[in-house]
Amino acid sequence: MNQYTQEHARSYYAASANGLAPFPALTDDLVADVCVIGGGFTGVNTAIELAQRGLSVILLEARRIGWGASGRNGGQLIRGIGHDVSGFAKYIGIDGVRYLERAGVESVELVGQRIREHDIECDLRWGFCELANTQAQFAAFKGEQQRLVDAGYAHETRLVGPEQIREQVVNAGVYAGGLVDMGSGHLHPLNLVLGEARVAQTLGVQIFEQSPVLELIHGSTVQVRCASGTVRAGSLVLGCNAHLDELEPKLSGKVLPAGSYIIATEPLAPDVAARLIPQNLALCDQKVGLDYYRLSADRRLLFGGACHYSGRDPADIAAYMRPQMLKVFPQLADVRIDYQWGGKIGITANRFPQVGRLGQQPNVFYAQGYSGHGLNVTHWCAKLLGEAIHAGHSQGFDVFSAVPHMTFPGGPMLRSPLLALGMLWYRLREVLG
């Protein structure tokens, strides 16, 4: 199945989307305060933030709004930014780390606020559980919960031991316990980004689809050239993430596109779904090649994972993912798979998002590399970009941009194979204990 046509992937999300009416392609020479490249969560929400501050914005998308990871992901809205922000204290200090910890919580609240404020129908449901694959991981959850309590986390959290997890959280016999967090949740990501694009449009943002950028000409006024038109803008935002390719080589080498895959079952009977995931939580385990899954609004199991760094997708995603699902849920052996799809997420070497200005170009901004935390972090980074472009400064923008990022070695041809070898080592360590 071809994942990279000009239209949305043939996913459950596209099949249940709330309106896929296209935006026009760029066919004129236009001028705006800001040009945003990329029609995913980063670009759309940056456009919203800028338009709310009174700036004129043109957004260019090479394919369709939500075509990339924003419209294909697991739909898990989970607190946190990066994987362990405490290690960045040497760059941003203890106060900077505390800011990032707060942002990890407030970014989830920002998404919820946007959905409520604009009445976006995207099946938002609160409740998430981190699943421990080992007793050591479950023991670590106790410390994580205590840190949340000490920080004044406003939402319910609770530890669920191995004796109770099958009845309370997930009917699977492979977990050593879990940490439930009612301040995180799950939703329909494509409907969210489509709804947000409509919000941006009502704010005056001009959105153009099927308008790939062919050339960037930097200067005090940035020129963005497409096949049938050009945008001139005082500032530029690059929000392409895993699909930046070589449009801006200074950034493309800092993010590695990694494949992740999801299958969706046929709708499950109400009693079957209730036994499978009793509280309708989003779920994610702790393996290097993690499993993440949840129920859709029409009671399908959406099961994802199997992150690939090789640059090659499985020929048959359903055949590849179904055995992973059956390891967790052998009781679904006779259940039909209705949808299968994959997509690219942007991975950074330190698993922390990259936000900043481009080198010596003070009017070129970017945000990318969310490393699996994109649903909430994109919205937060969009807020920081809006602040920085409108006001000329942003404390949060400065904190994020102070964290350095390495370029993956090997050049375009060798980056993926080298990282694939590295991840294989970590998986072997996991298997061997």
- Domain 12-72+190-255+350-410 classification at class level: alpha beta
Q: Domain boundaries in the chain?
A: 12-72+190-255+350-410
Query: Under a CB-based contact definition with an 8 Å cutoff, are residues 35 and 231 in contact?
Result: yes
Question: What is the spatial distance between Cα 207 and Cα 194, in angstroms, rounded to a whole number?
Answer: 12
Query: Under a CB-based contact definition with an 8 Å cutoff, are residues 357 and 401 in contact?
Result: yes
**Adjacent-strand bridge partners of 180:** 129, 158
Q: Which pLDDT value is given to residue 395?
A: 95
Q: Which pLDDT value is given to residue 201?
A: 98
Tell me the per-residue pLDDT of 295-322, one tens digit each, with 9 for 90 and over.
999 999 999 996 666 567 888 999 999 9
What does pTM read for this prediction?
Answer: 0.93
Q: Which pLDDT value is given to residue 313?
A: 81
Question: What is the spatial distance between Cα 230 and Cα 31, in angstroms, rounded to a whole number?
Answer: 8
- The DSSP 8-state label assigned to residue 153 in this structure reads -
Instruction: Give the phi and the psi of residue 306 in degrees, each rounded to 5.
Output: 55, 55
Query: Under a CB-based contact definition with an 8 Å cutoff, are residues 381 and 42 in contact?
Result: yes
Query: Under a CB-based contact definition with an 8 Å cutoff, are residues 73 and 196 in contact?
Result: no
Query: Under a CB-based contact definition with an 8 Å cutoff, are residues 354 and 224 in contact?
Result: no
Question: What is the spatial distance between Cα 110 and Cα 384, in angstroms, rounded to a whole number?
Answer: 12
At residue 151, the 3 state secondary structure works out as coil
Please give the full DSSP string across 370-411, using - where no structure is assigned. Answer: -TT-HHHHHHHHHHHHHHHHHHS--HHHHHHHTS--PPPTTH
Q: Find tokens 């947000």 and name the residue.
A: 196
Q: Which pLDDT value is given to residue 427?
A: 45
- The DSSP 8-state label assigned to residue 305 in this structure reads E
Q: Which pLDDT value is given to residue 176?
A: 97
Query: Under a CB-based contact definition with an 8 Å cutoff, are residues 416 and 311 in contact?
Result: yes
Of residues 15, 24, 6, the one with CA closest to residue 229: 24
* Stretches in the chain below the pLDDT threshold 50: 1-2, 421-431
- Helix (H), strand (E) at residue 199: helix 189-202
Q: Which two tokens stand for residue 194?
A: 């489509």
Mean pLDDT for the chain overall? 92
- SS3 of 223-283: the string is EEEECCEEEEEEEEEECCHHHCCCCCHHHHCCCEEEEEEEEEECCCCHHHHHHHCCCCCEE
Question: What is the spatial distance between Cα 384 and Cα 397, in angstroms, rounded to a whole number?
Answer: 5
Q: Find tokens 């945008």 and name the residue.
A: 231
Q: Which two tokens stand for residue 41?
A: 């969560």
